[in-house]
Amino acid sequence: MPNFIAKKIKELNFPFRVGETEFLSLINGRKLDLIHTKSFDSEFFITLKPSGDKFIIKGEKVSKPAKIGHLQKALQIFKDEFCDEIVSESFAFKNKSLIEKTTKILDENEVLNLIKAHKFSKIFIEIGFGSGRHLLFQARQNSDTLVIGIEIYKPAIEQVAKLAIKENLQNVALINTDARILLSMINSNLIDKIFLHFPVPWDDAPHRRVISHEFAKECVRTLKKGGKFELRTDSELYFEFAKEIFGEFSKFGKSEFFKNQNLQISSKYEDRWKKMDKDIFDFIFENSQISDDLKENFVLEFPKFDKDKIYKNFTNEAFKGDDFFVHFEEIYKNDEKIFIRVSLGAFDLPQQCYLVIGEDFSSYFIKFPLALRQTFKAHKKVTEILEKWQCSI
């Protein structure tokens, strides 16, 4: 996480703005403070933590923006305007950083809306696109296709976005999220191809793999009739694992297998494996069914709460349901609101977010949890606990 260490912090007078970056307010915590920040089209927290006779200033991980240049720019301005005696820094804002507003990097709801309203003839999804070689190749070769890239490594997203902008590719959308979550929210029968090329094999920990029974189920549901899921891997164990998992859905489609097949484009990993004379395996599943549409529509709303009573009675505690959990982690406040950091959702798909509670409103803040079935259950538990706290003496 980008950060720096300073010995002295000047008086913080917020709001404070320099260009497209604005520090809106200071939010006090029990161990560290949050600085509510907006930079270009990103909104996030910067943390300010005392450590002996020094202060550690860095981006806050839950709200960290996909465009890391926005965070780096904000840290640079905060360092220049509010800090003295810099001890060390571990970030470097560069003018080449992607900071302008772009339609290439989207959040989950923006991607879902794009899919719903798209005017392309096809939709491809690539999970873990890395350097973007294959993703950009597909976008160039298929101008009538919306190519969505899912990646958890944020610097890769920014780099590939720059390349797509440079080439003026109008059919590329990138997102930093868990592919399993996004697939579960896409309506049925919409996707033409799902690519998973050279994922981390996790041969010693198969439970950590992207592919699972639930993942295969969502692939079958979201793929069009005739749509394909394509795995390319150097791990024979992963290849056999994929055959086994998708074999559970054999009545919904057919599978093909290839070894050392040459494609028009190769990733840097594939180039490396070929130099080492490693075998490359392809598993392709072609869907043959038409699935029912998604019917669930979960609304995550809160009633009004008494923020002062909740702040007084807050405790760090966790709750487990049959297939969901809630963990209240930390609480912060300023003169007008309280902010609660919470983890919630399914056990294998946890989400972190903040709640904000004011005099006459309550809501999730900056990053909204995705409205999945388990998240909705967790949301109801969050509401129940907040109501309990505000009723306590």
What's the token pair of residue 50?
Answer: 């005392």
Torsion angles phi and psi, residue 258, rounded to 5: -140, 155
- DSSP category for residue 388: H
Per-domain residue ranges of the chain: 3-90, 105-287, 307-391
Q: Which CATH class is domain 307-391?
A: alpha beta
- Tell me the residue type at 286: E
pLDDT by position in tens, the chain (length 393):
789 999 999 999 999 999 999 999 999 999 999 999 999 889 999 999 999 999 999 999 999 887 888 999 999 999 999 999 999 998 766 655 555 556 688 888 889 999 988 889 999 999 999 999 999 999 999 999 999 999 988 889 989 999 999 999 999 999 988 898 899 889 999 999 999 999 999 988 888 899 999 999 999 999 999 999 999 999 999 999 999 999 999 999 999 999 998 888 887 778 887 788 889 999 999 999 999 988 766 788 999 999 999 999 999 999 999 999 999 999 999 999 999 999 999 887 789 999 999 999 999 999 888 878 889 999 999 999 999 999 887
What's the token pair of residue 292?
Answer: 């029912």
Query: Residue 39, class by beta-carbon neighbours within 10 Å (0-12 exposed, 13-18 middle, 19+ buried)?
Result: buried
Q: Assign residue 366 a region: left if phi > 0, alpha if psi is -120 to 50, beta otherwise?
A: left
| Residue 294 pLDDT | 82
| Residue 102 pLDDT | 61
Q: Which of 325, 309, 306, 308 is nearest to 317 (CA)?
A: 325
For residue 378, the SS3 value is helix
| Residue 93 pLDDT | 62
Distance CA 341, CA 332 (A): 8
Tell me the residue ranges of DSSP E strands in the chain: 3-9, 16-18, 21-29, 33-39, 42-51, 54-59, 83-90, 105-106, 122-127, 145-150, 172-175, 191-197, 223-233, 253-259, 281-287, 317-320, 325-333, 338-346, 349-357, 362-365
CATH of domain 105-287: 3.40.50.150
Describe the crossing of helices 154-166 and 68-82 by its angle, rounded to 10 degrees. 110
Q: Give the global pTM.
A: 0.74
Within 8 A by CB and 6+ apart from 122, the residues are 142, 144, 145, 146, 192, 193
Q: Which of 238, 241, 220 is nearest to 229 (CA)?
A: 220
Distance CA 107, CA 8 (A): 36
Torsion angles phi and psi, residue 90, rounded to 5: -130, 60
Question: Would you tell me how many other CB atoms lie within 10 Å of the CB of residue 159?
Answer: 15
- Tell me the residue type at 216: A
For residue 374, the SS3 value is helix
**CB 230, CB 195: distance < 8 Å:** yes
